[in-house]
Amino acid sequence: MDRIKDHGRIMIIGAGGVATVAAHKCAQVSDVFREIMVASRTLSKCEAISRDIGLRYGRDIRTAGVNADNVRELISLIEKFQPYAVLNLALPYQDLHIMDACLETGVHYIDTANYEPPEKAHFEYSWQWAYQERFKEKGIMAVLGSGFDPGVTNIFTAYADKHLFDEINYLDILDCNAGSHGHAFATNFNPEINIREVSQVVRHWNKGKWVETPAIIDEGSIHFSFDYPAAGPRDSYLLYHEELESLVLNIKGLKRARFWMTFSDNYLTHLKVLKNVGMTRIDEVDYDGCKVVPVKFLKALLPEPASLGTKYTGKTVIGNIITGKKDGKTITRYIYNVCDHEESFKETGTQAIAYTTGVPAMIGAMMVITGAWQGSGVFNMEQLDPDRFMDALNKYGLPWQVVEHDPLP
């Protein structure tokens, strides 16, 4: 297959909120994404995305039903559509299946979240990094984590390393959702993935090793109040997040790296109760002669994340506070974006959590399709040149600022 002839064709796998945003943003950039397919297990969701985009932009978006757990099915669809790149916005459990299909067909791969096995609440890059030589031999790219965090936070770090610092020593990533959706309890993305993520033991990097601390809902969790731009003071909890794993390898001179996220007392109270009664369990239990996974049942009861945008107000504020050396002096800079839930809904019919992930997903695909990023193998975002990505953030809906700031203790 001649990849140059097919370079304007993108296949999006997934039909949730993030995929909805990515499809909308791809449709807005017709000179890059000339042909778009949205494929998912639930064809009706793909068709709904296609109809909305057709009404908004007058573009014909192709759709298909596909089981992303079935590699042969994925290969067949890729061979039929012949995309230049596959944008994986399905579940993290399916990353390896989609990478296998891309390898078989010689198609570039982009995702937003690293792989985790369904049977264990644990995520790391080792499974995907293991594809390095196979992607290199095939002459194709796998770009990992092209969302906001991971994704933009990696790019912010790479940009700072290239332009603002001679050496980065301390990195704090702060993710604040200061919005309100009107529900007693809901998660902003897939409930199963969200609950698995925030229930884990916390890790951060300090002085050359990983330090473990209690999960956010356990006694002894670490948190502090931070005064966010456009949002004000919010309790921010130390949390492990996947971009830390690659950043500590690729950013030289890094002595400490931490990730913080805001959680309301209401969210934490609900999550503690759900954990205490066993509703966050990921193993099967017997109920009335049936095998049930409690967290999957809970997912069925909670609001669909893509539906939250109808009542969402407020803003998200996500960015990096970085301290390091420049011309022999120690300086600190804060790079951040503010995104509005209501504005996100007006543009794409989704809330800002999906928007802040879907826009960078589109931009990552754009970098690959236009040739701004080239290479063979598996890449984390900070390994790629940040400049055109940073420009695209300003152009396509996620403008950023750099300000002086006091270092965090």
**CATH number of the domain residue 207 falls in:** 3.30.360.10
Q: Which residues pair with 110 in a beta bridge?
A: 87, 143
Residue 271 covered by a domain: yes
For 252, 254, 376, the CA distances from 345, given in Å and listed in that order, are 39, 38, 37
Residue 229 covered by a domain: yes
Domain that includes residue 240, residue range: 152-349+399-404
Provide Rg for the chain, Cα atoms.
20
Q: Per-10-residue mean pLDDT for the chain, 409 residues long? A: 63 96 98 97 97 96 97 98 97 96 98 86 90 98 98 98 98 94 72 76 96 92 96 96 97 97 84 82 86 85 74 94 98 98 96 96 98 98 98 98 97
Q: pTM score, two decimals?
A: 0.92
Residue 297 covered by a domain: yes
Residue 240 covered by a domain: yes
Look-up of token digits 């040739």:
371
Q: Which two tokens stand for residue 300?
A: 């069925």
Q: What is the pLDDT of residue 236?
A: 96
State the total domains in the chain.
1
Which residue type sits at 162?
K
Residue 48 covered by a domain: no
- CA quadruple 80, 85, 91, 93: dihedral, nearest 10: 90
Q: What is the pLDDT of residue 41?
A: 96
Give the pLDDT confidence of 95-137 residue by residue, as tens digits.
999 999 999 999 999 999 999 887 776 789 999 999 999 999 9
DSSP summary character for residue 15: -
Residue 290 covered by a domain: yes
Phi, psi of 156 (to 5 degrees): -55, -45
Q: What is the pLDDT of residue 123?
A: 80
Residue 60 covered by a domain: no
Beta strand 400-404 pairing with 167-177: unpaired
Alpha-carbon distance of 194 to 196, in angstroms, equals 6
Residue 270 covered by a domain: yes
